[in-house]
């Protein structure tokens, strides 16, 4: 768990992910939070069931690279969005980040702040050399989150833009 100015970023355990998927108030109750207006897209539900849950259950992996991290507003005591890394660093030290803000909390800077917190966490991981993200071309809000966190475009297709942030490592 880590904190930013307005948020607590909490990595969810396997049992908490199951409550997240149920999308009732059980996760909010466990975390002693007010009920959030969370909706789970079919795409996220599939990712949770097919990839995230099996990876979090795999004790040979560091679950912090696979689980959802809940972005919790300190002031409102509500989950306002969530983030994840898409698996452990590859051979080049690259990790992918994904994120989403719940509808009512968009355009308030929460995700920019949350991604910044995740970057600070990743900077402390010796094996991480860069973070990348993929956004749809029309998702200007997501582009802004990445730009404000110093990501640079490194490629694009007809529908997607690819972003990267290099993580400087101190020489020992």
* Domain boundaries along the sequence of the chain: 2-131
pTM given for the model: 0.94
Residue 170 has pLDDT above 70, yes or no: no
Is the pLDDT at 87 greater than 80, yes or no? yes
Q: Which fold has domain 2-131?
A: Aminopeptidase (3.40.630)
- For 121-155, b/e burial (b = at least 16 CB within 10 A) is bbeebeebbbbbbbbeeeeeebbebbeebebeeee
Whether the per-residue pLDDT at 172 is higher than 50: the answer is no
Q: Copy the structure tokens of residue 87.
A: 């698996």
Give alpha helix (H) positions in 40-139. 42-47, 53-57, 110-123
Of 98, 137, 138, 140, the C-alpha closest to 118 is: 98
For residue 44, what pLDDT is reported? 85
């Amino acid at each position: 768990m880590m904190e930013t100015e307005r948020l607590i970023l909490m990595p969810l355990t396997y049992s908490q992910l199951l409550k997240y998927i149920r999308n009732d108030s059980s996760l909010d109750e466990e975390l002693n939070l007010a009920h959030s207006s969370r909706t789970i897209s079919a795409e996220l539900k599939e990712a949770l069931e097919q990839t995230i849950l099996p990876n979090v259950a795999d004790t040979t992996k560091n679950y912090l690279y696979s689980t959802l991290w809940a972005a919790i507003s300190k002031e409102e005591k509500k989950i306002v969005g969530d983030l994840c890394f898409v698996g452990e660093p590859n051979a080049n030290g690259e990790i992918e980040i994904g994120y989403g803000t719940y509808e009512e909390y968009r355009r308030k800077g929460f995700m920019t702040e949350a991604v910044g917190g995740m970057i600070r966490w990743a900077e402390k991981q010796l094996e991480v050399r860069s973070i990348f993200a993929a956004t749809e071309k029309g998702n200007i809000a997501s582009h802004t989150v990445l730009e404000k966190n110093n990501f640079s475009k490194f490629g694009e297709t007809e529908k997607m833009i690819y972003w990267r942030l290099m993580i400087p490592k101190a020489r020992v």
